Amino acid sequence: MAAEEAGGVGRSPACLCVLCGLPAAGKSTLARKVLRTAALQGWRATVVPYDDLIPEQAFQTRAEEDGVILQEIVNTHTEWKSHRQAVLQCIERFLEKPQRLAELPVSCQIDSAAWQQCIQALLQPEALDCSQAERAPLLFLLDDNFYYPSMRYEMYQLARKYSLGFCQVYLQCDLESCISRNQSRSEPIPTEVILEMVKRLESPNPQKNSWETNSISLNTTADLSKCDIQRVMELISSALSNPLSPAEDNTKQKEADRLKCATNVVHQTDQACRRHISEAMKTARENQVAPKHMKSLAAQLNESKATFLHNLRRQLLQEASFAQEEDIDVERVVKRAVDVFDLEKKEILLRIMNENN
């Protein structure tokens, strides 16, 4: 069992606490206050700040080309995601062998100095002697936007693998306040990034995802209150007292679920793409496109659709986060996929109409 092999971690309760929300929603402020309260309770606690660990260039927005949008739809492994995976791997390595402070993977893609600062507080907590520290509860506060459920689900999987506590705190802050706070920072992020994240943010939903049951929401438009901090501490205490159980090996069932989901997405996307092709053909006829060009238009649209659906299906089946425990929002995925195909359709239609003229 992984938990039994986790060295010092296995002898004391441990918890992964996900802090999620828009940029400037107050996650770092909350983390600092929880750290102080945790220290008073004799816990070993640290913040894992993704902004400090992941190089700035990994967050730069890429050109919105069709292929890039399609990859975003299924959350494929981009350079940015590989950095997130590196953070996850470093946490897991620490859980397995806490004393190996300086031994990061050779190809590690995170800031090693920032990571060592994170775990130094766990290995050498202030106000605790060695014997106390070994038995003290262990708390990771994961400070990131975590706007997709799949990002949070990875942390849930890690907690379950090592029989840790798991909980989530969603910081709900109005957009205007987030933008205002961000602009007052010494190094603000572009406002466009926040506006884009509003569109993508999916807050914890226990009704949809049972693994998100141990979650609370805080309104952080105003300052955090003592009651807010107390709620978070009670949530974490409950998670520490109720660690997750390792999952049974249900690989075959997951593969079946993944195939079923991918087939459903591709089928619905195919139906929608057919309607878009019909609309393009109608537009071409209304613009009196010559028969030979109409034939070429139909061939190109159908070929484009076939290639598009093939790539969509392949990427869906390769996506590791498709799991039985995490329901996929098929309607949202289909809509985004169809939006991508619609761009291809318009380009082909415009090209044919230009040739016709």
Average pLDDT over residues 324-332: 61
Please write the tens of the pLDDT for every residue from 98-116.
765 545 554 567 777 888 8
Look over the chain and give the mean of its residue pLDDT values, rounded to a whole number: 81
Average pLDDT over residues 219-233: 92
More confident residue, 134 or 314: 314
Average pLDDT over residues 293-307: 91
Quickly state the pLDDT bin for 51 (edges 50, 70, 90): confident
More confident residue, 129 or 297: 297
Beta-carbon contacts of 244 under 8 Å, excluding residues fewer than 6 positions away, are: 156, 159, 160, 163, 164, 165, 166
Distances (CA, A) of 347 to 40, 222, 271, 337: 62, 48, 20, 16
Model pLDDT, residue 136: 84
Question: Is 123 a residue whose pLDDT tops 80?
Answer: no
Q: Where are the domains of the chain?
A: 3-241, 251-356
Greatest mean pLDDT among 113-117, 223-227, 250-254, 260-264: 223-227
Give the residue carrying structure tokens 């990875």. 154
* Across 87-91, 234-238, 317-321, least confident range: 317-321
Question: Is 327 a residue whose pLDDT tops 90?
Answer: no
Question: Is 76 a residue whose pLDDT tops 50?
Answer: no
Q: Tell me what percent of the residues of the chain surpass a pLDDT of 90.
A: 41
Model pLDDT, residue 52: 82
Alpha carbons within 13 angstroms on the beta-carbon side of residue 135 total: 3
Average pLDDT over residues 131-146: 84
Model pLDDT, residue 3: 44
| The 215-219 sheet, strands edge to edge | 44-49, 138-143, 14-21, 165-172, 215-219
Model pLDDT, residue 103: 55
Please write the tens of the pLDDT for every residue from 148-161.
888 899 999 999 99
8 Å CB contact between 139 and 236: yes
CATH number of 3-241: 3.40.50.300
Model pLDDT, residue 215: 95
Please, what's the b/e burial string for 190-220 (b: 16 or more CB within 10 A of its CB; e: otherwise)? eeebbeebeeebbbbeeeebebbebbeebeb
Please write the tens of the pLDDT for every residue from 159-171.
999 999 999 999 9
Question: Is 13 a residue whose pLDDT tops 50?
Answer: yes
